């Protein structure tokens, strides 16, 4: 029995934490909210220098050739610092799919640039006022002389303005369910209209993208045409395992914040952490954190070692952690009292991030149903 | 990370499994797990089962070989719990003797005490109970008032104990009594006695639990007698002995974790078979959602237990995180049992021979309330976690 990250992984976490602490932790996110990109660019460049952008990329494209578990410390630490950007989408969705389904040309074009930190890729899936249901994908790509011509709109694209390339889910033929959908890698061009959407979580600059007769080579299809849906489902396993780690990082920071505050804040002549009403609430937050962490470690381990129960493991980590993150973030505000309700404190940033993730690429009830299906119920 | 077990551990599992198949009471594996109702027959049945375990070398597996154990590793103990839960083995009547009193005597007892008690603990000849709690001293154990007063080479004990599990079947009691009122700190001045239960000064009265079982008791001490040879450690230093005794539980809440896992799996089977409006319960969208959530949480608790176990293996001893395991498993067991009752609909209130599926669920529901109280209430566990894991200040009044 050895259920822990390895010493190397913990040591790497130590470097990252120090690096992000030195950068001011949530200061980077706060400057981003004000529209100042400088701190974020520096931090992302620093993470690339530390090797974070090459962890799960093959050595032949300049990566380290490691796996999901080696990414865990990075995701936890950026979740802790609420670092903006599309590291999640790039590393936990696009990289594994490129490694598995990418053409040699695509791998050479994208993977080495991702590894060096000079390329960011995000996911363009949902459409205005639509759900994640595949039947609702209307953005269409028709074939024309070896090219695809795209027409339609995408919404809620994570940090569209920070990405250089988009993994686009488009309809390439009529069909129901996931039939007739394809994934296309499309590099940002002036042909694509982009508008930043206001988001409750202001550390996220979501984008609405409009495609009007945008032409892209068929060589940009990821995997074969009309089979994009099943590829995307596979990518979601990686993405959700990683997402649960990001949320664990945020939860860990929240429990620390609450604990520290309860030790120093005095009321009625006592530190408030002495009162069971406060103490027990923080303990309940700690239980949520540890359960989430255990589920997310196992999710990433089962993914890396291709265990039979990996779907149930990943979906349960995703579903539990999303809900738990919201609960602990809410408790944190209550424990901080009036000051916790202000913009000055970080409490609100974590709550908003938790709410952002709640329905990101699917709801809790959707993922609960996925658990049920994975269990064969 | 590594969840595989070694060849040696797998061999251990197979050896135990084969032995259980050979030696469990007749019909047990086929589902005939009825225990005798009448006290003496019940006691005899469980003592016989323990003696069978002893003869197979399967009672105190973690004890040193010298004292009749197997020197089992922590992982072997875990496997042992898993297998016992898997076959729903009869309860170990001398749980206190084997997991607590025996190891304490091996460590702190005199040669005479070892000679006199160890072997009998193993065979089930001498069943032990624990005399800690009192009507006014449960979670606040240092408030005990039962007294022991020296009288020549004897001690005279008076007072009342309560919640004494298996007290009605026990021959001996590991009992705490106040021997001095002079100390400034109230946990000083307490002494640990190895009290003989078979004497006229000791009277046990069973307490009927809300699930109908009679496992614990009130114990009345009226001029009960103990001798110097029946004191463990030093006079007035019983608190330390008691703490050491509690730390002998190496695998902690393991058996309850595996029981929770089994109950979850049984719940799924029930929901597949139990039909409402001619449809299996498991196809009901509400039930599926809740069950998926229970899957995540019970799986999470078990994985958390494994993560703490990994720490225990690395450090060589358990830490205060074990309170996290206790809190998670007991609260979840209670919630899950309540859920199972509720999804059985209005038939869920039927009990005993009229229970809609199996009285197992109704029994579990009622029994689950004991788990969040016994062995330290959930509130006490939260204090321990808050203070010892998170470093929050101590409660007021302590």
A312 and A359 together in one domain? yes
Q: B383 touching A, CB under 8 A?
A: yes
Q: What is the DSSP string of A219-287?
A: GGEESSTTBHHHHHHHHHHHHHHHHHHHHHHHHHHHHHHHHHHHHH-EETTEEGGGSHHHHHHHHHHHH
Distance CA B252, CA A22 (A): 41
- Amino acid B212: pLDDT: 87
From B125, B237, B249, B335, the catalytic residue: B249
Nearest to B390 among A259, A312, A375 (CB): A259
* Spacing of C-alpha B244 from chain mean position: 16
Burial zone of B236 (CB within 10 Å; 0-12 exposed, 13-18 middle, 19+ buried): middle
CATH number, position A99 = 1.10.540.10
Q: For residue range B108-143, list pLDDT tens digits in order.
A: 899 999 999 999 999 999 999 999 999 998 888 889
Distance CA A250, CA A296 (A): 13
Q: Is residue A195 assigned to a domain?
A: yes
Distance CA B130, CA B116 (A): 18
CATH 2.40.110.10 is the classification of domain B128-237: yes
A250 and A299 together in one domain? yes
- Amino acid A165: pLDDT: 98
Instruction: Provide mean pLDDT across the span A347-357.
Output: 98
- Amino acid B239: pLDDT: 92
Q: How many of the other CB atoms lie within 10 Å of CB of B381?
A: 25
Candidates A8, A256, A310, A377, partner chain B, best to mutate (most B CBs within 10 A):
A377
A162 and A238 together in one domain? no
Q: Indicate whether this complex's ipTM tops 0.85.
A: yes
Q: Residue A136 phi/psi, 5° resolution?
A: -90, 0
Which strand (E) or helix (H) includes residue B393?
A: none
Test A283 with B390 for CB contact under 8 angstroms: yes
Residue B111 catalytic? no
Q: Residue A316 phi/psi, 5° resolution?
A: -70, -35
A129 and A44 together in one domain? no
Distance CA B362, CA B259 (A): 16
Q: For residue range B327-376, list pLDDT tens digits in order.
A: 999 999 999 999 999 999 898 899 988 988 888 899 999 999 999 998 88
Q: Residue A262 phi/psi, 5° resolution?
A: -70, -20
pLDDT of residue B396 exceeding 80: no
Q: For residue range B144-179, list pLDDT tens digits in order.
A: 999 999 999 899 999 999 999 999 999 999 999 999
* Contact (CB, 8 A) for A203 and A212: no
Q: Which of B138, B249, B128 is nearest to B196 (CA)?
A: B128
Per-residue pLDDT band for A275 (boundaries 50, 70, 90) equals very high
- Amino acid B16: pLDDT: 98
Nearest to B299 among A273, A286, A295 (CB): A295
Q: Is residue A204 assigned to a domain?
A: yes
- Amino acid A200: pLDDT: 97
- Amino acid B249: pLDDT: 77
Helix, strand, or coil (residue B175): strand
A234 and A367 together in one domain? yes
Q: Is residue A2 assigned to a domain?
A: no
Shortest alpha-carbon distance between residue A89 and chain B (Å): 24
The last residue of one of the domains, among A92, A120, A148, is A120
User: Which architecture characterizes domain B7-92 according to CATH?
Assistant: Orthogonal Bundle (1.10)
Q: Euclidean distance between the first and final Cα of chain B, in Å? A: 41
Q: Is residue A33 assigned to a domain?
A: yes
- Amino acid B397: pLDDT: 62
Instruction: Provide mean pLDDT across the span B62-71.
Output: 94
Helix, strand, or coil (residue A332): helix
Pairing mode, strands B279-280 and B275-276 = antiparallel
A141 and A68 together in one domain? no
User: What's the number of domains chain A is made of?
Assistant: 3
Q: Is residue A108 assigned to a domain?
A: yes
Q: Is residue A1 assigned to a domain?
A: no
Shortest alpha-carbon distance between residue A133 and chain B (Å): 18
CATH 3.40.50.300 is the classification of domain B250-390: no
Q: Which of B84, B99, B21 is nearest to B262 (CA)?
A: B84
- Amino acid A212: pLDDT: 97
What is chain B's mean pLDDT, rounded?
93
Q: With a threshold of 0.90, does the pTM exceed it?
A: yes
Instruction: Provide mean pLDDT across the span A203-225.
Output: 97
pLDDT of residue B398 exceeding 70: no
A371 to chain B: which residues are within 8 Å by CB?
A: 292, 295-296
Q: For residue range A233-272, list pLDDT tens digits in order.
A: 999 999 999 999 999 999 999 999 999 999 999 999 999 9
Q: For residue range A84-134, list pLDDT tens digits in order.
A: 999 999 999 999 999 999 999 999 999 999 999 999 999 999 999 999 999
| CB-defined contacts A:B, below 8 A | 143
pLDDT of residue A193 exceeding 80: yes
Residue with tokens 């990329």: A57
Q: Is the dihedral of CA A105, A109, A112, A114 positive or negative?
A: negative
A95 and A46 together in one domain? yes
Q: Which of A249, A300, A219 is nearest to A56 (CA)?
A: A300
B379 to chain A: which residues are within 8 Å by CB?
A: 276, 280
Candidates A298, A305, A373, partner chain B, best to mutate (most B CBs within 10 A):
A298
* Contact (CB, 8 A) for B390 and A283: yes
A137 and A255 together in one domain? no
- Amino acid B140: pLDDT: 86
Burial zone of A15 (CB within 10 Å; 0-12 exposed, 13-18 middle, 19+ buried): middle
pLDDT of residue A371 exceeding 80: yes
Residue B322's closest chain A neighbor by CA? A287
- Amino acid B138: pLDDT: 84
List chain B domain ranges: 7-92, 128-237, 250-390
Beta bridge partners of A234: none
CATH number, position A328 = 1.20.140.10
Could you say which residues from 258 to 317 on chain B have a Cβ atom under 8 Å away from some Cβ of chain A?
A: 268, 272, 282, 288-289, 291-293, 295-297, 299-301, 303-304, 306-307, 309-311, 313
pLDDT of residue B183 exceeding 80: no
Q: Is residue A361 assigned to a domain?
A: yes
Test A276 with B383 for CB contact under 8 angstroms: yes
- Amino acid B395: pLDDT: 81
Beta bridge partners of A171: A140, A181
Test B396 with A294 for CB contact under 8 angstroms: no
The last residue of one of the domains, among A191, A226, A261, is A226
**Percent of chain A having pLDDT more than 90?**
99
B286 to chain A: which residues are within 8 Å by CB?
A: none
Distance CA B393, CA B387 (A): 6
- Cα three-residue angle B132-B133-B135, rounded to 5 degrees: 150
Burial zone of B355 (CB within 10 Å; 0-12 exposed, 13-18 middle, 19+ buried): middle
Q: Which of B307, B359, B303, B309 is nearest to B329 (CA)?
A: B303
For the record, the structure tokens of B40 come out as 């003496």
**Percent of chain B having pLDDT more than 70?**
99
Test A263 with B268 for CB contact under 8 angstroms: no
CATH number, position A155 = 2.40.110.10
The last residue of one of the domains, among A103, A120, A137, is A120
Instruction: Provide mean pLDDT across the span B92-105.
Output: 93
A53 and A175 together in one domain? no
Q: Is the dihedral of CA A312, A315, A321, A326 positive or negative?
A: negative
A274 and A189 together in one domain? no
Residue ranges making up the domain that contains A166: 123-226
For the record, the structure tokens of B196 come out as 């003989």
Burial zone of B111 (CB within 10 Å; 0-12 exposed, 13-18 middle, 19+ buried): exposed
């Amino acid at each position: 029995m050895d259920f822990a990250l390895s010493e190397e992984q913990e040591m790497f976490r130590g470097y990252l934490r120090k690096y992000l602490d030195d950068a001011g932790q949530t200061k980077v996110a706060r400057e981003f909210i004000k529209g100042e990109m400088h701190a974020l660019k520096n931090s992302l460049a620093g993470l690339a220098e530390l090797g974070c952008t090459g962890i799960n990329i093959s050595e032949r494209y300049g990566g380290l050739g490691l796996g999901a578990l080696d990414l865990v410390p990075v995701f936890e630490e950026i979740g802790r610092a609420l670092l903006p950007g599309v590291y999640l989408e790039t590393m936990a969705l696009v990289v594994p799919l490129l490694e598995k389904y990418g053409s040699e040309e695509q791998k050479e074009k994208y993977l080495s640039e991702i590894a060096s930190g000079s390329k960011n890729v995000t996911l363009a899936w949902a459409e205005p006022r639509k759900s994640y249901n595949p039947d609702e994908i209307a953005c269409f790509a028709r074939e024309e002389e070896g090219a695809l011509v795209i027409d339609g709109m995408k919404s809620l694209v994570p940090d569209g303005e920070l990405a250089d390339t988009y993994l686009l889910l488009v309809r390439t033929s009529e069909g129901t369910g996931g039939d007739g959908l394809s994934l296309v890698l499309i590099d940002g061009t002036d042909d694509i209209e982009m508008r930043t959407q206001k988001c409750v979580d202001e550390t996220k600059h979501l984008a609405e993208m409009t495609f009007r007769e945008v032409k892209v080579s068929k060589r940009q299809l990821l995997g074969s045409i009309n089979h994009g849906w099943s590829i995307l489902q596979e990518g979601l396993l990686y993405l959700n395992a990683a997402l649960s780690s990001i949320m664990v990082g945020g939860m860990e920071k929240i429990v620390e914040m609450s604990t520290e505050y309860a030790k120093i804040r005095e009321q009625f002549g006592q530190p408030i952490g002495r009162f069971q009403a406060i103490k027990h609430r923080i303990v309940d937050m700690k239980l949520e954190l540890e359960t989430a962490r255990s589920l997310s470690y196992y999710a990433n381990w089962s993914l890396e070692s291709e265990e039979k129960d990996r779907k149930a493991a990943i979906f349960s980590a995703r579903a539990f952690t999303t809900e738990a993150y919201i609960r602990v973030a809410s408790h944190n505000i209550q424990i901080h009292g009036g000051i916790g309700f202000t913009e000055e404190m970080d409490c609100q940033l974590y709550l908003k991030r938790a709410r952002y993730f709640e329905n990101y690429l699917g709801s809790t009830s959707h993922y609960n149903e996925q658990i049920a299906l994975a269990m064969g119920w | 990370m590594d969840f595989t077990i070694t060849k040696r551990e797998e061999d251990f599992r197979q050896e135990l499994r084969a032995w259980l198949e050979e030696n469990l009471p007749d019909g047990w594996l086929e589902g005939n797990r009825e225990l005798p109702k009448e006290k003496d027959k019940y006691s005899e049945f469980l003592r016989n089962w323990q003696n069978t375990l002893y003869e197979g070398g399967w009672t105190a597996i973690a004890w040193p070989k010298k004292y009749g154990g197997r020197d089992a590793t922590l992982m072997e103990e875990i496997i042992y719990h898993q297998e016992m839960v898997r076959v729903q083995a009869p309860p170990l009547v001398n749980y206190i003797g084997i997991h607590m009193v025996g190891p304490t005597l091996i460590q702190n007892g005199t040669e005479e005490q070892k000679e006199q008690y160890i072997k009998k603990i193993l065979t089930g000849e001498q069943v032990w109970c624990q005399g800690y709690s009192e009507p006014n001293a449960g979670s606040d154990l240092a408030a005990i008032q039962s007294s022991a007063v020296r009288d020549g080479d004897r001690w005279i004990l008076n007072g009342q104990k309560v919640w004494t599990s298996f007290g009605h079947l026990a021959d001996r009691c590991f009992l705490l009594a106040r021997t001095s009122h002079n100390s400034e700190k109230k946990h000083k001045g307490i002494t640990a006695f190895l009290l003989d239960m078979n004497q006229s000064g000791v009277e046990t009265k069973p307490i009927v639990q809300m699930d109908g079982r009679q496992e614990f008791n009130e114990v009345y001490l009226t001029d009960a007698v103990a001798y110097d040879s029946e004191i463990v450690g030093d006079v007035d230093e019983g608190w330390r002995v008691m703490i050491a005794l509690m730390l002998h539980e190496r695998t902690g809440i393991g058996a309850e974790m595996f029981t929770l896992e089994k109950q979850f799996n049984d719940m799924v089977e029930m929901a597949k078979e139990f039909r409402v409006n001619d449809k299996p319960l498991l196809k009901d969208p509400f039930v599926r959602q809740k069950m998926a959530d229970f899957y995540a949480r019970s799986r999470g608790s078990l994985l958390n237990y494994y993560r703490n176990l990994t720490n225990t293996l690395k450090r060589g001893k358990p830490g205060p995180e074990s309170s996290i395991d206790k809190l998670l498993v007991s609260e979840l067991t209670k919630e899950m049992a309540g859920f199972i009752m509720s999804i059985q609909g209005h038939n869920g209130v039927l009990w005993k021979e009229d229970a809609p599926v199996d009285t197992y669920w109704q029994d579990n529901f009622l029994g689950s309330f004991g788990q969040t109280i016994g062995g330290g209430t959930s509130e006490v566990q939260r204090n321990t976690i808050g203070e010892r894991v998170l470093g929050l200040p101590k409660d007021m009044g302590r």
